[in-house]
Copies of this chain bind each other. A is one copy, B any other.
Amino acid sequence: MTQTVEPRILRGLRDLFSEHMHARQWIIDRIRSVYERYGYVPLGTPALEYLDVLLGSAGEESDKQLFEVEGPDEEQLGLRFDQTVSLARVFAQYNDLPRPYRRYQIQPVWRCDNPYEKRGRFREFLQFDIDAVGVESEVADVEMITAMCDTMNALEVGGFRVRVSSRRVLNLLMSFAGIAEERAADVFRVLDKLDKLGKDKVRLELTTGYKDDSGSPVPGLGFSDKQVARIEQFLAIKGDTRDEALASLRALYEGVPNAAEELEPLARMSGQLTRLGYADDIVQYDFSIARGLAYYTGTVFETELLDLPEFGSVCSGGRYDDLVMRFSGERVPAVGTSVGVDRLLVALLELGRAPLKKVTADVLVTVFDQEMIDHYLEMTYELRRAGINTELYLGGAGRVGKQIRYGDRYEVPILVVCGSDERDKGEVQLKDMSVGRQKTDKIKDRDEWKAERPGQFNVARSELVPEVKKLLAVIRGTGAGRHEGT
């Protein structure tokens, strides 16, 4: 035979099997139900965008992470690295969209990044975004923050905290620290690494630079000690409540031009959040967060899981009032947030909070005797037509033991077994696999287990559907009591 091709995938990509796909679908359904409750409408955009649409939209870091693709007529294309740029492109391209345009979007994005699977960083991953485009008022920002909180609650992640800051606060920092405005993006990029790198490395990157663990030089931005001292004064701001943090910031920025007015929206947002029941322990003002993407212009926010403090943000976003302008020339204020679905899945698995289910079938009809295949087909379709998820064993006849192991491994709740004896008596055997599993866990003696034949009983063939329904109800704990057999 010809040479085989090695079956493999690129590092940072993943195959997801049924257990994880079921959990991911559960995550998607939960998030969608929150976002539809907020009245967002779905949008789908192609994975491939023109390269010039993507390049320069979110800064140098994103540009470097692009997977480039060539079109059929040598068009320069790329795989989207987020859904926000595509949304801005869409809003600029179609004149007939409602304004404001509030949409949700659930699609994969690609980043030619350094993957780190333990922290849920992949090269292809699913994002679940909501954005409101054409919204000036900070009420839209409040809505984003509450939607993030409601989503985290719907996903039963346990404790979490949304940390909120604003690029405006950071812009004022430039003035406060005596740094030229055009260097702001560099500063934000470095500050965004605070959680990852720690204070010392951030200080070195702001000043002289350093060598990373691999020995590669990380160039410094060349700021003075005095400038860095002011930045660190700013980063040290803490407050038990949002209002306390704001008060400290106001005090620090006393004398910075426009500071008072610029901080007003944050004060109003805090009041609204409180009135709506999003307290200071859930939504925190934390001025040390910056978010890496260059397109943010106002509020930025991210979400950490309290039980996984090292994991990083699972849901983040911010305001980007100038991104649509790249495509339309018109300033269109916008704000959005994105759940990293695959990151969140990794986090929930680590927390033991992801609902796990291998199987979709409730019943496996085994093939005891190939001659009776029509009999098995009829039972299978009868069960399916009664709305019961049913698999017919397709691996060939014989060796029922193999089929039982197959069903056991997949965690199918019920097996149907029928030989010519049962058929001639007008009967069929049901195996309650959960009983089998429980007993084999407890009773280690194989003979004892065999003798007892637990959870295994015959029912009339004509009663197959109602008997299976009854047994399923028992297994799911909704029935009156365990079935005793017939």
Q: Report A's interface with B, CB cutoff 8 A.
A: 1, 4-10, 13-18, 20-22, 24-25, 36-50, 52-53, 67-72, 75, 77, 79, 89-90, 92-94, 98-100, 102-103, 108, 110, 112, 123-124, 132, 134-137, 139-140, 142-143, 146, 272, 275-277, 325-329, 358-361, 363-364, 370, 373-374, 377-378, 381, 384, 387-396, 406, 409-410
Q: Knowing A41-B18, A90-B7, A389-B37 are in contact, say whether A146-B325 is a contact too (CB < 8 A).
A: no
Could you write out 8 A-B pairs with CB less than 8 Å apart?
A8-B53, A9-B89, A16-B44, A18-B42, A18-B43, A102-B394, A143-B394, A272-B374
Assess whether B110 is in contact with A381, with CB atoms less than 8 Å apart.
no
Report Cα–Cα, A18/B105, bound state, in Å. 10
Residue on B nearest A13 in the bound complex, by CB: B46
> Which 3 A/B pairs are nearest by Cβ-Cβ distance?
A39-B391, A39-B361, A21-B42
Which residue of chain B has its CB nearest to the CB of A72? B112
Answer whether A394 and B132 are a contact pair too, CB < 8 Å, given A37-B389, A43-B18: yes
Q: A124–B392 contact, CB under 8 A? A: no
Q: Are B77 and A10 touching (Cβ within 8 A)?
A: yes
Known contacts A90-B15, A328-B4; decide if A135 and B47 are in contact (CB<8 Å).
no
Give which listed residue, B42, B67, B137, B358, contacts A48 with CB less than 8 A: B67
Question: Are the C-beta atoms of A14 and B46 separated by less than 8 Å?
Answer: yes
Given contacts A39-B389, A41-B360, A90-B15, contact A4 B326 (CB under 8 A): yes
Structural contact, B392 and A143, CB atoms closer than 8 A: yes
Among B8, B77, B364, B384, the residue within 8 A (CB) of A50 is B8
Across the interface, A327 reaches (CB within 8 A) one of B5, B69, B363, namely: B5
Minimum CB distance partner of A17 in chain B? B43
Residues of B within 8 A of A410 (CB): 41, 98
Q: What separation, in Å, do the CA atoms of A319 and B371 have in the docked complex?
A: 23
Label chain A's interface by main secondary structure: mixed
Q: When chains A and B are docked, how far (Å) is the Cα of A137 from the Cα of B46?
A: 39
- The chain B residue with its CB closest to the CB of A115 is B72
Question: Once the chains bind, are B4 and A327 in contact (CB under 8 Å)?
Answer: yes
Distance in angstroms between the alpha carbons of A324 and B381 in the assembled complex: 29
Contacts of A21 in B (CB 8 A): 41-44
Which residues from chain B contact A137 at a C-beta distance below 8 Å?
370, 373, 394, 396
**A94 CB, nearest partner CB in chain B, Å:** 8
- Do A67 and B69 contact each other (CB < 8 Å), given the known contacts A4-B329, A102-B394, A394-B102? yes
Identity of the chain B residue whose Cβ is nearest the Cβ of A381 in the assembled complex: B276
Which B residue sits closest to A146, measured CB to CB?
Answer: B381
Output the least CB separation between A413 and chain B (Å). Answer: 12
Cα–Cα distance between A373 and B271 once the two chains are bound (Å): 12
What is the CA–CA distance of A276 and B390 in the complex, to the nearest angstrom?
Answer: 15
Given contact pairs A8-B53, A47-B47, A275-B377, a sample of 5 additional A-B residue pairs in the complex whose CB atoms are under 8 Å apart:
A15-B94, A36-B360, A47-B108, A48-B110, A100-B394
Give the Cβ gap from A116 to chain B, nearest Cβ, in Å: 14
CB distance from A13 to the nearest CB of B (A): 4
